[in-house]
Amino acid sequence: MQATEIDKKYFFCKAHKRTALLSAALLALLLSACAAPMAGNGPRSAAQPVEIGIAAFNDFHGNLEPPRQPVATPDGNGGTVLVPAGGAAWFASALDSIRAKYAHHLTVSAGDMISASPLASSLYLDEPTIGVMNRLGLDFNAVGNHEFDRGREELQRMQNGGCAKLTSKQPCQIEQFKGAKFRYLAATTRLPGGQTLFPASALRTFGKGTQKVTVGVIGLTLKGTAELVDAVRIAGLTFADEATTINAEVPRLKAAGADAIVLVIHEGGKTTGAPDPQGCAGLAGGIRPILDALEPGVDVVVSGHTHWDYICDYPGRDPARPMLLTSAGFYGREITDITLTIDPAAHRVVARRARNVIVQSEPFNSARGSVAVTPLFPQFAPRADIAAYVKTYADAAKELATRPVGKLSGPASRGEGALASTGGTLGNLIADAQLAATRRAGAQIAFTNPFGNRAAIVPAADGSVSFGSIYLAQPFGNRLITKTMTGAEIKAVLEQGLDGTRPEQVLAPSAGLVFRFDRTRAPGNRVVSLRLNGAQLDPAARFRVTINSFLASGGDGFTGFAGKPEAITGAVDLEALEAYLRAADAREVPHENRTELVGG
């Protein structure tokens, strides 16, 4: 009832009380109406805040089984503990435990869910990974760079389903593939006509009446995807600027009723200091300039790509309303538990918090020794339905995965911690194998990119190495290319990995080549010494250099490898590694330090 109607009723009541023309009963009735407002005219009860739970992860890479790469985390006593983590069945139980806390929840992935996967998923074109995510109830996945590894059409098959043969592998080997029940989002990935490959964003509404809230989700990959994928696979696609795209999408979602904005982006950063999944010390990397360019409006940023874990209150352009920035490492070893508290009347987020939950699974032997279960963190039981589904594919791949390929004297490890940008003993081993495989093409030097070497090779107790183990280390199936380069060109391409414009990547060289670098020097002048077999590399001399086909096309930003003359195409990189292991009774792991940091 309007205020004017209340006033009229009031004066009507006063007049009739003075004249006493009405009966006592009628007067009492009217007076009772005057004394109490009519139903529905009083102040409405204030809407209560609404909690939304968001379970987030990134860079799953088809790790259906435990990846045997531990999570390093503070032990509470000033030290660090290694926690065995991951595996889809354990991941499912951890996810269920997070969702159980919330009446309303979303589950999102920040890209690279598929590709660069172990055999149980990769042999079957990652169809079982999509099957697992369907069973887990994933809502949205932002497209990452590795989603394009098999080409645009195959990625669209991942969304839509079907058994069209679009790669060298046969689809639907185990079951009919029905496609993803979740939605891919790709705000920056543009077709020739300007439209996006997949939707840029989505809205999800929770609750009813005064408690109804709407969450807008924007999903996108990094602008630099074109440097990370074979050009043939992404022909016709362009990748727009991230911040410009987000700033255009936020007001559209707000106008459509979004009370909160969640950005799911396949780009990230790295922190410094001791490993801490809940920390944010010294955050740096590609995500920072993007966030710094965002207009206010984004509440949470779920990031990925760098395989790092962190929880950050990022100030952005509005220090009074920081964005919550998260990342959950890689391979399904962690899940970020995010809580958003939304005021449905004010249509805004009033509180946010997050923590990374370690998916503690089962003990294993690593390149650094035994990794045991710890009571410091919950241990999750494998969810039976997911375990059974994964077993179907793992059993199908078992014969190939367990086939012996040779022996190693010990573990070959990737660079870790402060050496994460280097190849470690694994990089040395792979570079040596590629040099040996291309000697007939005149190769004198070989380089491998550490970011392409995905997992340590850990032999069994008797030193034997399985095909599945070397496939984990090199899952991309790149051809080896041998080209002619001058000493000056070799130095220039090494400088590209140290130029500070992209994540540092120190190319791992074959035996005999040693270089020293100094981060404190100006970009382009950071390689301070470059020797081959003890002699300084002559800038004018010509050398035969082997790299994989990804690097040969300028991948990972190493454009100095592209367009060089006298190229000869050789074996697949994985075949070269297997042949190198088979050629020795027990191949010695090359431990020498071929790259040395002398400053910075």
Residue 178 covered by a domain: yes
CA-only gyration radius of the chain, Å: 29
- pLDDT value at residue 308: 96
Distance in angstroms (rounded) separating the CA atoms of residues 132 and 389: 8
26 shares a domain with 104: no
List all residues 6 or more positions away from 270 whose beta carbon is below 8 Å from its beta carbon.
283, 284, 285, 306, 308, 503
Residue 286 covered by a domain: yes
- Burial call 97-109: b when 16+ CB within 10 Å, e when fewer: ebbeebebbbbbb
With both helix axes pointing from N to C terminus, report the angle between 384-401 and 88-99 in degrees, rounded to the nearest 10.
160
Q: Cα dist. 210→45, 81, 343 in Å?
A: 10, 46, 10
CB 222 within 8 A of CB 145: yes
- Mean pLDDT in order along the chain per 10 residues (600 residues): 33 37 38 40 67 98 96 95 98 98 98 97 98 98 98 98 97 98 98 97 97 98 94 95 98 98 97 94 95 96 97 87 94 98 97 98 88 97 98 98 97 81 95 98 97 93 96 95 98 96 92 96 96 97 97 94 94 97 97 89
Residue 399 covered by a domain: no
Joined tokens for residue 467: 């095909």
DSSP 3-state of 576: helix
Joined tokens for residue 572: 């697949």
Distance in angstroms (rounded) separating the CA atoms of residues 514 and 456: 22
- pLDDT value at residue 16: 40
87 shares a domain with 19: no
98 shares a domain with 66: yes
- pLDDT value at residue 6: 31
**Which residue's entry shows tokens 């998916």?**
359
Distance in angstroms (rounded) separating the CA atoms of residues 94 and 55: 10
10 Å Cβ neighbour count for 310?
25
120 shares a domain with 89: yes
- pLDDT value at residue 369: 84
**Which residue's entry shows tokens 């994989």?**
548
54 shares a domain with 29: no
Distance in angstroms (rounded) separating the CA atoms of residues 53 and 338: 6
437 shares a domain with 358: no
276 shares a domain with 375: yes
- Burial call 261-277: b when 16+ CB within 10 Å, e when fewer: bbbbbbbbbbbeeebbb
CB 248 within 8 A of CB 266: no
Joined tokens for residue 3: 């205020």
294 shares a domain with 223: yes
Joined tokens for residue 370: 């035994």
Residue 313 covered by a domain: yes
pLDDT, tens digit (0-9, with 9 covering 90-100), for 169-204: 999 999 999 999 999 999 999 999 999 999 999 999
- Please state the three-class secondary structure of 13-60 as a single string: HHHHHHHCCCCHHHHHHHHHHHHCCCCCCCCCCCCCCEEEEEEEECCC
In 409-478, beta strands by DSSP E: 445-448, 464-466
pLDDT, tens digit (0-9, with 9 covering 90-100), for 48-79: 999 999 999 999 999 999 999 999 999 999 99
- pLDDT value at residue 217: 98
The structural domain count of the chain equals 3
- pLDDT value at residue 11: 32
Distance in angstroms (rounded) separating the CA atoms of residues 542 and 9: 101
The end-to-end CA distance of the chain, in Å, is 73
10 Å Cβ neighbour count for 399?
9
Residue 43 covered by a domain: no
588 shares a domain with 551: yes
End position of a domain, from candidates 389, 420, 443: 389
Residue 44 covered by a domain: no
CB 328 within 8 A of CB 335: yes
CB 268 within 8 A of CB 300: no
- Indicate left, alpha or beta for 112 from its phi (over 0: left) and psi (-120 to 50: alpha): left
Range(s) of the domain holding residue 21: 3-35
Q: How many CA atoms lie within 13 A of 381 on its CB side?
A: 3
Joined tokens for residue 308: 């790092």
List all residues 6 or more positions away from 156 whose beta carbon is below 8 Å from its beta carbon.
197
Distance in angstroms (rounded) separating the CA atoms of residues 405 and 412: 15
- pLDDT value at residue 35: 40
346 shares a domain with 224: yes
- Burial call 24-34: b when 16+ CB within 10 Å, e when fewer: eeeeeebeeeb
Residue 449 covered by a domain: yes
Q: Where residue 113 sits, what CATH number does that domain have?
A: 3.60.21.10
CB 442 within 8 A of CB 482: yes
421 shares a domain with 308: no
488 shares a domain with 385: no
End position of a domain, from candidates 389, 416, 445: 389
DSSP 8-class letter at 417: G
- pLDDT value at residue 257: 98
End position of a domain, from candidates 389, 416, 432: 389
CB 544 within 8 A of CB 445: yes
Greatest alpha-carbon pair distance for the chain in Å reads 120
Residue type at 414 in one-letter notation: R
Q: Where residue 590 sits, what CATH number does that domain have?
A: 3.90.780.10
Residue 42 covered by a domain: no
